[in-house]
């Protein structure tokens, strides 16, 4: 989508982007915000949104992607390196930090590439910084070089430390001498320009012997270097110069290594800026409840509960749409009623959506294919160019008429204002007609009655009005689609003290048709308010009925679960009794065998067989009940057949696998036959009830094809998750995996239990278990397939 600087200024986009700017952690993120612009296609926007959703999910499950709060822009450092050929240790440290974060980021993304393939779009251009990071590791976290940066540096620093220690010992021995210390202002070793000196009393300066280096602040004493320390200080100074020279040499080599990778470092800077924006955007979504609108190819928009971000928590949400039944929306209503805010809210939301960012809208909002957006909002009167308000607006509209097409979004505030009302209205109508022929999406605000009538009578044009509380004389800022707004000028005049005689005379000047239209509009508003109250009442009643039905359903489930628990407990006790009886019978049989009583042995063996039969019967009952629970669960969830499901044709003994679903019919594979059966005649069936030849077979394909080694269902409902897991396990089995991972999270264990129930009923699953300590623990299930 394209737009222009004038439009962005009109909708105050710079202030909106400050919200994203403040949410970022670094200057890189803020630079990325400053370079934001709308993307070129719906596909690009969708990919950017997918990346944001992946980041949000990763953060919820695994925490933050690698980051370092010390990250700063590297571009100025590279310019300094090119100019001087020598970077300071602190500057090289910043490069090392960025390189290190990039290495950890690539590692984290690679580790989770099956779960989060969207991250590959972010990191695919990152270079391999392994070698450079190793080279830069000689720089410590305070920006200094480690001794091991080179053998020569280690030797020089060691010599410097030893020489300094020797000089300090010599100086300390001088301090301990009574004759010497009496001339000193204090008993301390001082340094001036790297040389050891003492603070000598001014009156003892000539007697002390040595070189005066500096005066104290009071002027009562002098810093002096004694003759006996001059040789020591000279050796220290020489070693220090050699050490600094070696450090510069090493820093120069590191600077050149950085310059050799400058393009890769600039790309790393871009990626980390994008990562920081993802972080800030995630925070905005959580803290402000902004949403990513659904993007589609059709030229339209539908914004639900949209607000203007600069108006704060008191902003009244609006629902506004255009592009389906109508391509033009004419908004009317009193001054300061919120008409201009509606235009700005719409433009801001569409712009943010096309940047791939969340917008201040509610869930279910849609933004379609818009290739150009232009807004004429506010007073751009120019004294320098001698342009009136009307001329300024007209110049903007001329540009719109030159560029507008079928996928354009145009927002015009106070169409036809600033000149003679009749001429302004006529010109406004002509402009709207021209834009209507081109199919552009157009939102306009106006006070002209002629344009109101146009909105009410023209096909493909809709009216909307800003609600006004006539009793309190205040706007409510609610947008009413389908009904134009009133100016309410005469009502406001009465409330503000204009005499009734003047008001009556004003009504006389209004022609009869206008007064009738105002009354009709007032009646429409009253009826709409009544309908809204009724709709709200019905909505509350529906919610209450839904709540009561849910309570009844939960009670039924609780009763069934209690019955199930009682049955399980009874079977457990029966199994325990049988096991005890079996053990006693076996012990008795061993005793009888020892006494060789064949008749008793036969009776005991018969008893053992009966006990084994009862145990098998108990186990069969358990399996049948589990299977019924599985099938009943499917039916309760509004089961609809999907490819791979085991089904039975109701009222027949025909069973098979669903191969495809088309509308209201399914293609059923039943042995060698393919049957087309209405969906309503199919009932869910356990795969274990199917013959072996009906079961899915593996295909000779690589497990690393398009089937990942794990599936993430954390955060889904049971209704959403289980069908996804069932389809995934079928695909993974066919792809040749030996085992896969289902990530369901810990929580209350509801998803985990449902996944385990599903696994028990899939014939190609031979085993499943919870993850180990290094696999995700209670939050994952490892599923093993039949080979």
Tens digit of pLDDT for each residue in 739-779?
999 988 877 778 888 999 899 888 888 889 888 777 777 88
**Cβ–Cβ under 8 Å, residues 429 and 450:** yes
Cα gap 748→769, rounded to integer Å: 17
Per the prediction, the chain carries an average pLDDT of 85
Residue-wise pLDDT tens digits, 123-177: 988 999 999 999 999 999 999 999 999 999 999 999 999 999 999 999 998 888 8
Distances (CA, A) of 130 to 124, 135, 495: 16, 9, 76
Range ranked top by mean pLDDT from 178-192, 343-357, 607-621: 343-357
pLDDT digits (tens, 9 = 90+) for 349-374: 999 999 999 999 999 999 999 999 99
The Cβ of residue 21 has, within 10 Å, a number of other Cβ atoms equal to 17
pLDDT at 514 over 60: no
Residue 381: pLDDT band with limits 50, 70, 90 = very low
d(CA 361, CA 366): 10
If one counts every other C-beta atom within 10 angstroms of the C-beta of residue 717, the result is 11
pLDDT (0 to 100) of residue 354: 98
What is the pLDDT at residue 314? 83
Q: Which class for 430: exposed (0-12), middle (13-18), buried (19 or more C-beta within 10 A)?
A: exposed
Spatial contact of 436 and 451, defined as CB atoms under 8 Å apart: no
Q: Which secondary structure element, helix H or strand E, spans residue 756, and what is its range? A: helix 750-760
Q: Residues 94-108: what's their mean pLDDT?
A: 96
Max mean pLDDT range (46-50, 117-121, 555-559, 623-627): 46-50
Least confident of 93-102, 145-154, 662-671: 662-671
Q: How far apart are CA 233 and CA 254, in angstroms?
A: 31
Name, in order, each residue with C-beta under 8 angstroms of 511's C-beta and a sequence gap of 6 or more.
none
What sign does the dihedral 564-570-572-575 (CA atoms) show? negative
pTM for this model (two decimals): 0.66
79 contact partners, CB below 8 Å, separation of at least 6: none
């Amino acid at each position: 989508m394209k737009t222009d600087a004038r439009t962005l200024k009109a909708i105050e986009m710079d202030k909106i982007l400050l919200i994203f700017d403040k949410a970022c952690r670094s200057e890189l993120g803020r630079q990325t915000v400053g370079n934001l612009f709308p993307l070129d296609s719906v596909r690009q926007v969708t990919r950017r949104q997918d990346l944001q959703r992946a980041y949000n999910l990763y953060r919820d499950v695994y925490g933050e992607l690698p980051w370092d709060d010390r990250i700063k822009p590297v571009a100025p450092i590279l310019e300094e390196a090119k100019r001087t050929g020598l970077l300071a240790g602190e500057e090289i440290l910043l490069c090392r930090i960025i390189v290190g974060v990039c290495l950890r980021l690539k590692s984290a993304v690679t580790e989770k590439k099956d779960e989060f393939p969207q991250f590959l779009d972010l990191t695919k251009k990152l270079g391999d910084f392994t070698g450079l990071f190793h080279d830069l590791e000689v720089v410590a976290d305070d920006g200094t070089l480690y001794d091991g940066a080179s053998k020569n540096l280690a030797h020089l620093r060691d010599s410097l430390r030893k020489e300094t220690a020797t000089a300090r010992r010599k100086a300390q021995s001088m301090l301990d001498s009574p004759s010497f210390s009496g001339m000193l202002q204090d008993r301390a070793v001082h340094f001036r320009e790297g040389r050891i000196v003492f603070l000598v009393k001014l009156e003892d300066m000539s007697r002390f012997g040595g070189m005066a280096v500096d005066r104290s602040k009071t002027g009562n004493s002098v810093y002096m270097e004694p003759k006996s320390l001059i040789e020591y200080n000279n050796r220290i100074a020489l070693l220090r110069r050699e050490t600094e020279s070696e450090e510069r040499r090493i820093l120069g080599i590191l600077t050149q290594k950085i310059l050799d990778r400058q393009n890769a470092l600039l790309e790393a800077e871009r990626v980390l800026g994008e990562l920081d924006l993802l972080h800030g955007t995630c925070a905005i979504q959580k803290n402000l409840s902004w949403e990513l609108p659904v993007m589609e190819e059709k030229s339209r928009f539908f914004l639900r509960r949209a607000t203007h971000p600069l108006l704060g928590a008191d902003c009244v949400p609006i629902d506004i749409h255009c592009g389906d039944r109508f391509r033009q929306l004419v908004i009317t209503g009193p001054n300061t009623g919120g008409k201009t805010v509606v235009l700005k809210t719409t433009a801001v939301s569409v712009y943010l959506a096309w940047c791939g960012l969340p917008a201040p809208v509610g869930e279910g909002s849609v933004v379609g294919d818009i290739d150009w957006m232009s807004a004429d909002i506010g007073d751009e009167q120019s004294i320098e160019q001698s342009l009136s308000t009307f001329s300024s607006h007209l110049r903007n509209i001329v540009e719109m008429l030159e560029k507008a097409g079928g996928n354009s979004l145009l927002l015009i505030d106070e169409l036809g204002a600033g000149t003679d009302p009749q001429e302004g209205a006529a010109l406004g109508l002509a402009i709207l007609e021209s834009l209507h022929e081109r199919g552009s999406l157009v939102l306009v605000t106006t006070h002209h009655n002629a344009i109101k009538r146009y909105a009410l009578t023209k096909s493909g044009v809709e009216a909307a009005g800003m609600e006004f509380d006539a009793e309190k004389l205040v706007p409510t800022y609610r947008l009413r689609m389908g009904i134009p707004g009133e100016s309410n000028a005469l009502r406001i005049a009465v409330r503000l003290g204009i005499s009734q005689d003047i008001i009556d005379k004003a009504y006389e000047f209004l022609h009869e048709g206008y007064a009738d239209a105002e009354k009709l509009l007032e009646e429409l508003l009253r009826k709409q308010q009544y309908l809204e109250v009724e709709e709200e009442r019905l909505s509350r009643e529906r919610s209450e009925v839904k709540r009561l039905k849910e309570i009844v359903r939960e009670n039924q489930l609780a009763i069934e679960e209690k019955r199930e628990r009682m049955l399980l407990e009874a079977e457990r006790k029966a199994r325990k009794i049988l096991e005890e009886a079996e053990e006693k019978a076996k012990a008795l049989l061993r005793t009888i065998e020892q006494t060789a009583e064949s008749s008793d042995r036969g009776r005991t063996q018969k008893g053992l067989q009966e006990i084994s039969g009862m145990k098998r019967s108990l186990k069969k009952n358990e399996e049948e009940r589990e299977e019924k629970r599985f099938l009943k669960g499917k039916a309760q969830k509004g089961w609809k057949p999907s490819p791979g499901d085991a089904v039975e044709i109701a009222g027949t003994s025909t069973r098979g696998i669903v191969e495809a679903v088309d509308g209201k019919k399914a293609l059923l594979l039943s042995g060698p036959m393919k049957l087309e059966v209405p969906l309503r005649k199919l009932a869910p069936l356990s795969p274990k009830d199917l013959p072996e030849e009906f079961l899915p077979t593996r295909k000779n394909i690589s497990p690393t094809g398009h089937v990942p080694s794990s599936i993430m269902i954390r955060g889904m409902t049971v209704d959403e998750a289980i069908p996804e897991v069932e389809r995934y396990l079928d695909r993974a089995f066919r792809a040749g995996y030996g085992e896969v991972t289902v990530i369901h999270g810990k929580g209350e264990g509801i998803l985990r239990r449902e996944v385990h129930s599903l696994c028990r009923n899939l014939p190609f699953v031979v085993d499943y278990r919870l993850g180990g300590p290094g696999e995700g623990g209670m939050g994952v299930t490892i599923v093993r397939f039949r080979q």
